[in-house]
Amino acid sequence: KLKLINSGRDFAAFDTNSTSRDTQFELRIASYFCSKNLVIDVSTETDIIVEFEKFFLYIECKRIHSEKKLMRKIYEASDQLKSRMPKKRGGKPCYGLIAIDVTALAFPHQGLVFGITPEHNRKIIQEKIIDIANKINSDNVMTQNPRLLAIWENIHIPATRMQPPGCETRFSYNMIFRDFER
């Protein structure tokens, strides 16, 4: 996986093959679970498998570049989970999660977010991510895949601010959970 990351260009705008950036996204998602000392497997056809005490979580990661491909990529990830995820593994039930990077969809010019304060930058990004969440037909996806627990939207973008003056990298996310009341 580390060799794949190094195979990309220095700037995304110059990349004709997105494999390195796709792999970076997968490893970023895996790192959140690693930080909780969970057992992670990134060696299978499934992007990430996380072992919890009572269940396994199968994760498919997709980077979304256009609104036109948003639902298509989500359904593709759902289909991959359905075909790759067993009902049980080692006696534990298996569930699915779709992680999508929507940075390019939210900010198509791959630029910077300009804000007055860090809080303003966070608000700009959160408004974009919620707007995209509203375009996802999550009920339909969840109905078609009963073991899918959530769709995890991510944005990773550089930002600059006026007060205090400076630059930062913003990581923002939103979870669209299955309606467990049904």
For residue 22, the model assigns a pLDDT of 84
> What whole-number percentage of the chain has pLDDT above 70?
87
Is the pLDDT reported for residue 110 higher than 80? no
d(CA 74, CA 64): 9
Task: Provide the β-strand partners of residue 27.
Answer: none
State pTM to two decimals.
0.89
pLDDT tens figures, 60-93: 999 998 999 999 999 999 999 999 999 999 999 9
Angstrom CA distances, 71 to 57, 85, 100, 110, 129, stand at 22, 21, 11, 21, 15
pLDDT tier for residue 111 given thresholds of 50, 70 and 90: confident
The 3-state secondary structure of the chain, one letter per residue: CHHHHHCCCCCHHHCCCCHHHHHHHHHHHHHHHHCCCCEEECCCCCCEEEECCCCEEEEEEEECCCHHHHHHHHHHHHHHHHHHCCCEECCEEEEEEEEEECHHHHCCCCCCEEECCHHHHHHHHHHHHHHHHCCCCHHHHHHHCCCEEEEEEEEEEEEEECCCCEEEEEEEEEEEECCCCC
For residue 23, the model assigns a pLDDT of 86
> What whole-number percentage of the chain has pLDDT above 90?
81
